Amino acid sequence: MTVNTKYNELSIKRDVIPETVPSSVAPDISDIEQAVGETIGDKGTVVIWMMNRIVWTIYENGHIELNDDASVMDFWQEMRAFNEQGELHLVRCGEGFSGRRIVDKKGTAGWEHGYVDSISPIWGEKIRYENGRVRLEDADRKLRMDIPVSDGSAVKYGLATRSYIKADAKAGLSGYGDYRFLAVEGMEV
């Protein structure tokens, strides 16, 4: 399978320096929305793992767009809000949420730091696109998912991730130190 996207060139880039900060948030939607805004700015994609399903939605103008059952935060297990600028990743810890935020700062990293962007297919094919959301369906597995995207022209979609490279001069070893979600993009297969 050949996938053609802007994430195809797997070269190490050094024009961004990640700033990673631990984050704890109370189980209150306004606190989470504030933390999301501080991390990604005005607009981004949000994915929430609930006890019974996965919800893809958007963050815009200070609010996470939620339907009635997704707004019941007792069912939230994990959440990621992301865009090109950064990511807030929270996991349920008791009554609250804990995790980290990664924000990309423009700069030139040395040889011991860098990043690689890549993309992995999301299961299913587009069966419709409306109101900024694409519905992906895998009929064989009886699975369906609605995902917010900026362009509904592709048949297949993928999750782009940014992996941050760290190297140790003393050991002479390098590898990925962290990663984050970057975007949901159409894929030409």
Q: Where are the domains of the chain?
A: 16-105, 111-187
133 contacts 170 by C-beta, under 8 angstroms: no
Residue 12 · residue 114 · CB < 8 Å:
yes
pLDDT for position 8? 62
DSSP, res 73: G
Q: pTM above 0.75?
A: yes
pLDDT tens profile 89-110: 999 998 899 999 999 988 777 7
CA-closest candidate to residue 127, choices 138, 118, 137, 140: 137
Closest CA to 159 of 187, 122, 115, 117: 122
Give the separation between CA 102 and CA 112, rounded to whole angstroms: 18
The better pLDDT of the pair 157, 169 is held by 157
DSSP labels for 120-149? EEPSSEEEEEETTEEEEEEGGGTEEEEEE-
Residues constituting the chain: 189
55: number of Cβ within 10 Å:
21
pLDDT digit string, tens, across residues 44-68: 999 999 998 899 999 999 999 998 7
